[in-house]
Amino acid sequence: MRLVLRGGRVLDPSQDMDQVADLVICDGVVEAIQEPDTAQGDTVRDVAGLLVTPGLIDLHVHLREPGYEYKEDIESGTRAAAAGGFTAVCCMPNTNPAIDTPAVVRQILERAESVGYARVYPVASLTRAMAGDQLSEIADLKAAGACAVSDDAFPVQNAETMRRGMEYCAQFGLTVMTHCEDKTMTEGGAVNEGYTSTVMGMPAMPAAAEEIGIARNILLSRLTGCRVHLLHVSTAVGVELLRWARDCGIPVSGETAPHYLTLTDEACMGFDTNAKMNPPLRADADLQALRQALAAGILDAIATDHAPHARHEKEVEFDRAPFGIVGLETAFGLVYTHLVLKNILSLGQAVHLMSSGPARVLDLPGGTLRPGSPADVSVFDLTEEWVVDPEQFRSKSRNTPFAGWKLTGKPRFTVVGGRIVEP
Amino acid sequence: MKDLLSLRETSAAEIRELLATAVSMREILSRPVKKVPTLRGRVVVTLFYEPSTRTRTSFELAAKYMSADAVNISVAQSSVTKGESLKDTLRTLQSVTADCVVIRHSSSGAAHLAARFADIPVINAGDGRHEHPTQGLLDALTIATEKGRLSNFDLSGLTVAIIGDLAHSRVARSNVWGLTKLGAHVRWCGPATLLPTDADRLPITVCTDLREGITDADVVMVLRLQTERQEKGLLPSLREYARVWGINARSLSWAKPDVLVMHPGPMNRGVEIAADVADGVGGVRALIEDQVRNGVAVRMACLYLLMSRGREEAVQ
C-alpha cells in the first residue's frame, strides 16, 4: 500500500529540507522524498501549493478521559488534535482516576487505538492520585506505556518528595514534566500579579512563584541527573533560569504555549474567564522574552496545554472558574500568524518547535520525514485566512480567548502511520 | 450607560451627571415627606452575597424614597445555598420582572458577570476587592459639598490621601478613578504589605510613610483594617499598625488645617482611626455621617438614571 503526497512544499527541519517534492509513504513508514511529480502509488494526493511537514506533536494536552468526558474524551480530543495538524499528543494524568496505574495507561492506549485520530502518549502521575506524597509505581507505568511522568496541575510542593521522585525516574530514563509553582505564594490567585491584578482587585500569582519552582526543579535535576521538562514556561526570568541550566549542562528542557506568546494579562481585564489559566497570562516583557527564547533555541517546544472545560464551568465568577483554555485547533494558526508572518520565527523554526523539538524532549518516534520513519505527516494551507469560531471546534469544549481572531494558515489534513486523517 | 459596574469604566461626564442628580435627590431627603413618585411600579432587587448594613439599607431607602418596590435577597435565604449559579439567579430575577439588580459579592468581577447575563441594569454595590462605585460617588459628593465645588464637581487642586489597607480595598479602587477623573490628586499610603503591586502605575502617588502621605492633604480617607490581616502574616500586630499608620490628632496635624476626615465604615476605633478623630473632638472635621447621608442621595441618582433610561428605551 503506497501513498503519495504529490508536489507539496516539504519542510522538514530534522533534515534541513525545504523543497517541492513528492513524499512517498509505504506500509506506514516514509519511503522516499523525491523529485516532484515523479512518484507512483495506490493513492496519490495532490498537495501542490500546500506545506508538508513532519506531524506536529503536542507535549501537553488534557484529554479528560477517563472521568471528565463531559469536557473532552479521547475521540474528541484527538479529533481536535488532528484538526489542528497534530499527529501525536501527550495526555496529562489529572484524569479520574488519575493515570497512576498500568490499567489506566492501557485503557487510554486502547481507546486511542480504537477511536483516536492521533497517537496518544499517556503521561503518568509522579505520585499516587497526584497527592504529592507516595510515588506511583513508576516502573510498572513505564512498562505499560507511559511516555513520561508529571505532576501537572498538582505540583509536588515537598522538595524531598520531588528529589526522590526524580532519582527514581532517572534510573528508568523517564523524564519528569513539571508544572513549576510555589503554591504557598499563589493561594487563591487567579491572575498574574501586577498592574492588572491591582486594577481588577484580583488575588494574584506572582511570576516569582513560578520562577522559584523552576529554579528548584532545575537544581533537583542537577542533583539527581533526572531529565526534567519544564511545562508551560511563562516568565522572562524562567527563560533565563533555563538558559543557565543549559549552560551548566543540566538535562532540562522547556516549552511554552501559544497563548503566552500572543496575549498578556490585559486580556483578563474584563473578567473573561477564558483568559484564566495557570500559569497566568503575564506581562508584555515576559511575552517578548518568550518569543526571543524560541528564536534563540532556549525553549525546545511549543505545546498547547489544551485544557477543555464545559461552558457552565467557565460561566462563573472569575476567581471560581477553573484554569485553562483549549488550544489544539488554534495553535498552528496563532504561531504562523503571530510569530512566522511577523518574522519572529522562521517557518522552519516554528515547525521544529512543534514537531522535531517536542519529539526530542521525550525521545518520541516521529518529528521527522526521514525515510524509514513512521509516516506521521501534517499538511497545511499557508494562504488560507480564517476566523476562529469556537462553534466549529472538534473539541467538546469552547473555552478559548481567541474567538473572532483572524488567522492565516490552516491545517488541511494529517497522515498518521500512513493513514490519511480528515477530522 | 446600561449598568454601573466600576468608576474606571465610567466617564467624567457620566460621573458629573450622577453627582448633579444626587444633589437634586439630596434636596428631596431634606423635605419632611421624603417620597417622590419617580419609580412607582418599578422593582429594585438587592442581591447580597456578603453581609452589609449600610450599603444595603442605603439602596433600599433610595428605592423606597422614589416609590419603587425594593426586594432584598440575601444568600442565606436563597437558592444560592442550594448551589444555584449567579447566571441562573440573575435569569430568575429577570423572569420575575425585576427592573434593576443591585449586587454585592465577595468575588471581584461578579457585577460584570451579572451584567453579562442580565438585560436589566446592574449596579455594583461592591465586588470583592475590585470596586464599590457608589461609595466612590458618595465620597466625591461629600468632598465637593464641603469644598464648595458643587457647580461643576471640579476637584482640581485638592489632595486626597487614602490611608490603610489598599490591597484589599474596593473603596480605594473606585476612588482612584472617581476622584482623579474629577481632577483631584490622590495619594495611597499604607504598609508595604497592604499596598498592591504596581500601584504606582495608577494615576496616583504611593508611599509607605504616613507623614509623607498626609502632609498638606485636603482630605484624609481612612480605610477599614480587616483585623484578620495579622493572621495572614501581613502585619505583626494591630497595636503596631495603630502606632505607625493610625489616624489620630498627631498624624492629622501634618495635613492642612481644614482637613476633612472620611471613613467608609464600619470603623475599628482605636485601630485605623482614633475615637476622638472619628467623633470630631477638638474641631476635627469628620464627615462619616455626611458620607452615609450622601450615600442615599447618590444611590437614588444611580437608580433614577439607570432605570428611567431603561424605561425610555423600552417605550421606544
pLDDT digits (tens, 9 = 90+) for A406-417: 999 999 999 999
Residue A179 has pLDDT above 70, yes or no: yes
Cα separation, B121 vs B102, whole angstroms: 9
pLDDT at B56: 95
The alpha-carbon gap from A367 to the nearest alpha carbon of chain B, in Å, equals: 43
Structure ipTM? 0.94
Residue with cell 444626587: B22
Across the interface, of B85, B130, B202, the residue whose CB is closest to A201 is B130
CATH topology of domain A55-362: TIM Barrel (3.20.20)
Query: What average pLDDT does chain A have?
Result: 97
Residues B39 and B176 occupy one common structural domain = no
Q: Count of domains in chain B? A: 2
Is residue B36 domain-resident? Answer: yes
B87 to chain A, closest Cα gap in Å: 7
B149 and B281 housed in the same domain: yes
Confidence of residue A107 (pLDDT cuts 50, 70, 90): very high
Calpha distance A351→A345 (Å, rounded): 10
Q: What is the CATH number of the domain that holds B32?
A: 3.40.50.1370
Please tell me the CATH superfamily of domain A2-51+374-421, with its number: Urease, subunit C, domain 1 (2.30.40.10)
Does a structural domain hold residue B37? yes
Q: Based on the domain organization, do B42 and B181 belong to the same domain? A: no
CA distances, B117 to each of A331, B10, B90, B188 (Å): 30, 20, 7, 35
pLDDT, tens only, B133-147: 999 999 999 999 999
Give yes or no for a contact between B274 and B248, defined as CB atoms under 8 angstroms apart. yes
**Do B43 and B78 lie in a common domain?**
yes
- On the 0-12 / 13-18 / 19+ scale of CB atoms within 10 A, B119 is exposed
The yes-or-no verdict on residue B253 having pLDDT over 60 is: yes
Asked, for residue B158, whether it belongs to a domain, the answer is: yes
Cβ-Cβ contacts under 8 Å, A200 against chain B: 108-109, 130
Q: For chain A, where do the domains classified as CATH 3.20.20.140 start and end? A: 55-362
Residue range(s) in chain A whose domain bears CATH number 2.30.40.10:
2-51+374-421
Regarding whether B53 and B141 lie in a shared domain, the answer is no
Regarding whether B307 and B267 lie in a shared domain, the answer is no
Task: Give the range of the structural domain holding residue B80, as residue numbers without chain letter.
Answer: 12-132+293-315
Residue B5 lies in a domain: no
Establish if A318 touches chain B: CB-CB under 8 angstroms. Answer: yes
What share of chain B has pLDDT > 70, as a percent?
96
- What percent of chain B stands above pLDDT 90? 88
CB contact under 8 A, A319 and B128: yes
Could you tell me if residue B6 is inside a domain?
no
Question: Does the distance separating the beta carbons of A202 and B197 come in below 8 Å?
Answer: no
Q: Residues B112, B256: one domain?
A: no
Chain-wide mean pLDDT for chain B?
A: 94
Q: What is the pLDDT of residue A289?
A: 98
Give the number of A-B residue pairs with CB atoms closer than 8 Å: 65
Amino acid B230: pLDDT = 78
B184 and B243 housed in the same domain: yes
Do the Cβ atoms of A271 and B108 come within 8 Å? yes
Residue A390 has pLDDT above 80, yes or no: yes
In a domain, B4, yes or no: no
Q: Cα–Cα distance between B274 and B251 in angstroms, integer? A: 10
Same domain, B307 and B256: no
Residues of A classed as catalytic: 305
The pLDDT of residue A152 is: 85
pTM of the entire structure?
0.95
Q: Are residues B128 and B195 in the same domain?
A: no
Which residues of B lie inside 8 Å of A (Cβ-Cβ)? 8, 85-87, 105, 107-110, 112-113, 127-131, 170, 173, 196-199, 201-202
Q: What is the mean pLDDT of residues A399-406?
A: 98
Residue B77 has what pLDDT? 62
